[in-house]
Structure 1
Amino acid sequence: MRIIIIASFADSLLSFRGALLRAISDAGHEIHVAAPGLSGKKNTIKTLASWGITAHEARISRTGTNPLHDLHTLLTLLILIRNVKPDVVLSYTAKPVIYGTLAAALAAVPKRFSLITGLGYAFTGQARGLRAGIKAVLMMLYRSALARSSLTFFQNPDDLALFRQLDLLPAGAQTRIINGSGIDVESFNLSPMPPAQSLTFLLIARLLGDKGVREYAKAAKALRKLHPNIRCQLVGWIDGNPDAISQVELDDWVASGDIEFLGRLSDVRPAISGCHVYVLPSYREGTPRTVLEAMAMGRPIITTDAPGCRQTVMDGDNGFLVPVRSAQALEQAMSRFIESPDLLARMGRRSREIAEDKFDVHKVNQVMMQEMGLI
């Protein structure tokens, strides 16, 4: 069959969907991919071409709110899909799910699949002002698109329950919960734990308030007053999201010495290998990829008791769950590893075991391919 996969972020095609693309290609199907900014990613296009995959530029503004731009997105996707004439369309993240699914329906594509990888800015905070307006529009668009989806994948049961509660899915809609995007446990190999004389904590995320970055900075500040030798590292970047951390905030954290900012890394494995504990105080996720990467590399996890995050940690087994928005609880959980460093090895081993058993990317991809009729 011929399949087109539509994304909102070109880099995610290899980092998040590379194993899925390879599996679909190995099964003998013709693959096309579309994402904004893809035409400028020569290495990505070269890699995709080596797998027999055709790349297309898609004009999708990931964080834009201009309705005329979004209408243009719908029209350009419709033209692309009509030109490619696929048997299957798979879209992931909000705008590709909405406009890719609608365009596929208008083009009469037989099989249309949507993958909800998280709910983003509009759904993670108080629905006021701009956030409330964006949420109302998104809900209307999701209803329209998902009514035309053959099957919708969710990465955690909480997101599925919320979509049903908000009446975003039609009666009798076909859905399937999968274990996130999965993780290649061979590429993210078990890494020896560094010596525990001075602990290093690590957070990898886009620098957004909803990722819990401010809570992490507050916890780091409080913790370093008692334990000045610990290190709290941060990997990521500031983007155009309305909830983005400001450059001034980041500069203040770095200047105080409480946060070591490592910038945006193309390969996060050295950073994970150099840390003792991985931290993600996010308000809501689909299934957090960075947590899976750290688990596969054998690191204990501190994350929130929030949708998507709670699915990765068995509290007290491979890490600790803390309440959303609580810098104090986060500090206390971090302190437990300082006071009981023997937890590091035990919880790290359990993280690796859970990653292998539950989140292996090949297991996740097999489920998706079966549901899409590709194997």
Structure 2
Amino acid sequence: MAHVVVIGSTAFSLLNFRGALLEGLVRRGHKVGAVAPSASEEIKSRLERMGVSYFDVPLRRRGLTPVGDMIYLWRLFRLFRSIKPDLVLSYTIKPVIFVSLAARLAGIPYISSMITGLGYTFSSHTHLARALGVLAVCLYRISLRHNRVVFFQNHDDLNVFTDLHLLPGYVRSVVIPGSGVDVEHFTPAPYPDRDAFLMIARLVREKGVFEYLEAAKVLNADYPKVRFRLAGFPGKGTSYLSETDFAEVNGAGAVEYLGRLKDVRSAIADCSVYVLPTHGGEGIPRTVLEAMAMGRAVITTDTAGCREAVVDGKSGLLVAPRNVPALVAAMKRLLDGQREKAKMGDAGRKRAVQIYDVRKVNNMIFENLEL
């Protein structure tokens, strides 16, 4: 039995993205801990029922905060010295960097990381993002050399890290099929009576929310009976859309806003096509896998992770990022091609079962970590 600790940047992600992984570790007889900031009582209770110990370590997820990041490093170091795990597995940029360093300082024997996408610092073209990208490269180079295994969710990201010489030869790199999807929980559903598009995402510009709203406005003029729906939640920061921003861009109300959903299955079942016009920086988007598992054709962008999940012309359509006319054309194609849409949905379901079943993905992780 090993003492395994999984570290993420949000408590929500521990259950939504790593819940099956944590449960699998417990079933295999390991002592399991989970670290993230500010878990709700509901999340704490669910982790406890799973047999997972929760540790609260505050973290400011976005931006450069030297003092805050050093405090985060110190708190991780103190925690690891106290609980003495045999193995740590971290994911998302700040945990990967600072967990690797803290675990090394604390003498943890097995350090591993999961690169779940390159994120804002690599996908955005702003001066700030470029500066943060340079810093991130330096920090990755320093921290990842202490890892035994680094998991990637798509080949594009591995190629970026390889080209930047971020992985020493003695660090094993493994590409896994994203975070996986529970194909027994997300199952095919009948199509709704009328065509509907759905997008599920945090309301940030990088997810392509503006492009989706603009495409909906264009199509709504010619297809007034088609529904356009958006689920997600606003947040703080310049990248997020406020409810005021959403209302202004949405104009006459072509898009119905569903808010944040605890269970997205009913929303996916009520759509005929799933859309995610992300600008990039993804590992493999979980919502794309969920839509595929439920037998829905997917329209997304020709970017890292997305092009790995969706086979263009087979299980969905790929369009250029930040390109509203291309997005409109793809959405119109599936509105006018009912048989093609259904064939793509069937192909997506098969692909989800064959490649992205969360049990298969987690078994790959367990085998590579020798757990």
TM-score range, shorter chain: over 0.9
Whole-angstrom distance in 2 between the partners of 1:60 and 1:105: 19
Kindly indicate whether the alpha-carbon contact (under 8 Å) linking 1:200 and 1:230 is maintained by their aligned counterparts in 2: yes
Q: 2: CA distance between counterparts of 1:29 and 1:110?
A: 16
In structure 2, the partner of 1:247 is: 243
- The match for 1:363 is 360
CA distance in 1, matches of 2:153, 2:303: 13
Gaps of 5+ in 2: none
1:148 corresponding residue in structure 2: 146
**1:125-144 superposed matches below 5 A:** 125-126=124-125, 128-144=126-142
For residues 286 and 199 of structure 1, what CA distance do their matches in structure 2 show? 29
Distance (Å, rounded) in 2 between the aligned partners of 1:253 and 1:133: 30
The question of whether the paired residues in 1 share the 8 Å contact of 2:47 and 2:53 is answered with yes
CA distance, structure 2, for counterparts of residue 2 and residue 358 of structure 1: 29
Letter in 2 for 1:354: R
SS at 1:310's partner residue? Answer: helix
The aligned residue for residue 226 of structure 1 is 222
Say whether 1:158 aligns with 2:156: yes
Separation of aligned partners in 2, 1:241 and 1:362: 36
Q: Between Structure 1 and Structure 2, how many residues are aligned? A: 369
Moved more, 236-245 or 159-168: 236-245
Change in 2 beyond 3 A, CA 1:113/1:63: same
User: Is the aligned partner of 1:187 residue 2:188?
Assistant: no
TM-score by length of 1: 0.96
1:291 to 283, 288, 309: 288
- Mapped to 2, the partners of 1:81 and 1:373 lie a distance apart of 21
Q: Aligned partners of 1:172, 1:34: CA distance in 2, in Å? A: 27
> Does the CA-based 8 Å contact 2:86-2:109 persist in structure 1?
yes
In structure 2, the residue corresponding to 1:175 is in which secondary structure? strand
Q: Does 1:28 align with 2:29?
A: yes
Residues 124 and 130, structure 2, Cα contact 8 Å, conserved in 1:
no
1:225 partner amino acid: A
Distance 1:263 1:254 in 2: 14
Distance 2:88 2:258 in 1: 37
Structure 1, unmatched stretches of 5+, are none
**Contact 1:74-1:100 at 8 Å conserved across structures:** yes
Distance 1:121 1:241, change over 3 A: farther
Letter aligned with residue 247 of structure 1: E
What secondary structure does 1:113 align onto?
A: strand
**Larger CA deviation: 270-279 vs 340-349:** 340-349
Residue type of the alignment partner of 2:343: R
Q: Distance in 1 between matches of 2:297 and 2:254?
A: 21
The 5 A counterparts of 1:1-375 are 1-38=2-39, 41-126=40-125, 128-195=126-193, 198-284=194-280, 285-374=282-371
The secondary structure found in structure 1 opposite 2:266 is helix
After superposition, what is the alpha-carbon deviation per residue over 1:100-145, rounded to whole angstroms, capped at 9, x for unaligned?
A: 111111111111000000111111121x422122112211111111
Q: 1:148-192 deviations in whole A, cap 9, x for unaligned?
A: 111100000000101122222224431000000000011111111
Q: Could you state the TM-score of these two structures normalised by the residue count of structure 2? A: 0.97
Residues 217 and 250 in structure 2, CA contact (< 8 A), matched pair in contact too: no
| Deviation by residue 1:6-41 (Cα, 9 ceiling, x = unmatched) | 110101111111111111101100001110112xx1
Higher deviation after alignment, 216-225 or 176-185: 216-225
Contact 1:208 1:241 in 2 (8 A): no
In the TM superposition, what is the alpha-carbon distance from 1:43 to its structure 2 partner?
1.7
State the 1:289 CA deviation: 0.2
Question: What secondary structure does 2:140 align onto?
Answer: helix
In structure 1, how many angstroms separate the alpha carbons of the residues matched to 2:242 and 2:167? Answer: 36
Contact 2:284 2:308 in 1 (8 A): yes
Q: Measure, in 2, the Cα distance between the counterparts of 1:223 and 1:259.
A: 11
Q: Say if 1:86 and 1:109, in contact at 8 Å, map to a contact too.
A: yes
Q: Which amino acid aligns with 2:159?
A: A
Could you tell me how far 1:63 is from its partner in structure 2?
1.3
Q: State the Cα RMSD in Å.
A: 1.2
SS of the residue 2:334 aligns to: helix
Contact 1:121 1:243 in 2 (8 A): no
CA distance in 2, matches of 1:204, 1:241: 19
Question: In structure 2, do the counterparts of structure 1 residues 242 and 120 end up closer, same or farther at CA, with 3 Å as the change threshold?
Answer: farther
Shift of 1:241: 4.5
Structure 2 SS opposite 1:11: helix
> How many angstroms apart in 2 are the aligned matches of 1:8 and 1:242?
19
Contact 2:148 2:170 in 1 (8 A): no
Runs of 4+ in 1 over 4 A off after TM superposition: none
Q: What whole-Å deviation, never above 9, does each CA across 1:328-355 have from its counterpart, x for those lacking one?
A: 1110000011111222322111111110
TM-superposition CA deviations, 1:239-279 (whole Å, max 9, x none):
23542224332012444122111111111111111000000
For the 8 Å contact 1:200–1:277, the answer to whether it is kept is yes
